[in-house]
Amino acid sequence: MSLNYIKNPNEIYQRSFEIVQKEADLSRFDTEEAKVAIRIIHASGMPEIGNDLKFSPTVIKEVLTAISRNAKIICDCNMVTSGISISNDSNLRAHCFLNHPSVLSIAKNEQTTRSAAQVTLWREHQAGAIIVIGNAPTALFRIIEEIESGAPMPAAVLGFPVGFVGAAESKEALAKTTLKIPHITLLGRRGGSAIAAAALNALIRISIEQDTE
């Protein structure tokens, strides 16, 4: 049996983004924010999540500047790291500390998750870094706490943890922090590694487009 479906990758790509732009309300975003929103919506398959996307005022500029100087990218899980598209000739590097030998002992001593425990190890790397969280609310809560306690300010936090316990609350905390952390987040329970990676991939693509203009 032969099923009828689109096989041409270019056509799939083009039609996918045409559908997103048709079905999603992008009117409240500026040009660059809309490009990021489209990628996030495409990664999720849910046009309606555009209503819950939040961009802090300077985040696009901060991330593009960080990308231009090859800032470190710090991810909360390996799935986010794997989803980030970095060309072979780029000096950008994505790092995940979840499997660092010290993480388990830190988690036991602090009676917290491994995802939160690893944030302790981010401190010496996070100044001007791009932090991408696509899995663990505890990691997002912890990085906010760390910054409030005097840890270096990252270039931006892309906060997309997913789940029923703490996800909505951690993203609300990021959006309402008085520290003015540059951020992109998706309010509510929805999120995930694919969405987090898509957000950064969109910004990397914008950076490449600017370099070729």
Supply the pLDDT for residue 43.
94
Tokens representing residue 211 in the block: 């370099």
Q: Is residue 108 situated within a structural domain? A: yes
Confidence of residue 209 (pLDDT cuts 50, 70, 90): confident
CATH at residue 66: 3.40.50.10230
Which of 42, 95, 125, 183 does the annotation list as catalytic? 42
Q: Is residue 162 situated within a structural domain? A: yes
Tokens representing residue 33 in the block: 């924010």
Q: What is the mean pLDDT of the chain?
A: 94
User: In the block, which residue shows the tokens 């899980």?
Assistant: 77
User: How many helices and strands, by DSSP H and E, does the chain display?
Assistant: 10, 6
Range(s) of the domain holding residue 200: 49-212
Give the model confidence (pLDDT) of 112-142 as tens digits. 999 999 999 999 999 999 999 999 999 999 9
Do the beta carbons of residue 187 and residue 175 sit within 8 Å?
Answer: yes
Q: Is the pLDDT of residue 90 over 90?
A: no
Q: Is residue 68 situated within a structural domain? A: yes
Residue 124's alpha-carbon distances to 120, 131, 154, in angstroms, are 9, 13, 11
Q: Is residue 42 situated within a structural domain? A: no
Q: Is residue 28 situated within a structural domain? A: no
Q: How many structural domains compose the chain?
A: 1
Measure CA 195 to chain center. Answer: 7
Q: How many residues does the chain have?
A: 213
**pTM (two decimals):** 0.94
Tokens representing residue 153 in the block: 């300010």
Is residue 95 annotated as part of the catalytic site, yes or no? Answer: no
The gap between the terminal CA atoms of the chain, to the nearest Å, is: 48
Q: Is residue 6 situated within a structural domain? A: no
Q: Residue range 5-27: average pLDDT?
A: 91
Do the beta carbons of residue 161 and residue 140 sit within 8 Å?
Answer: yes
Q: Is residue 105 situated within a structural domain? A: yes
Give the model confidence (pLDDT) of 132-182 as tens digits. 999 999 999 999 999 999 999 999 999 999 999 999 999 999 999 878 899
Residue 49's φ and ψ, nearest 5 degrees, are -70, -15
Of 160, 150, 209, residue with least CA distance to 184: 160
Q: Is residue 128 situated within a structural domain? A: yes
Q: By three-state DSSP, how is residue 183 classified?
A: strand
Give the model confidence (pLDDT) of 37-71 as tens digits. 999 999 999 999 999 999 999 999 999 999 999 99
Residue 170's φ and ψ, nearest 5 degrees, are -70, -40
Supply the pLDDT for residue 213.
58
Tokens representing residue 175 in the block: 């959006």
Of 48, 31, 55, 43, residue with least CA distance to 209: 31
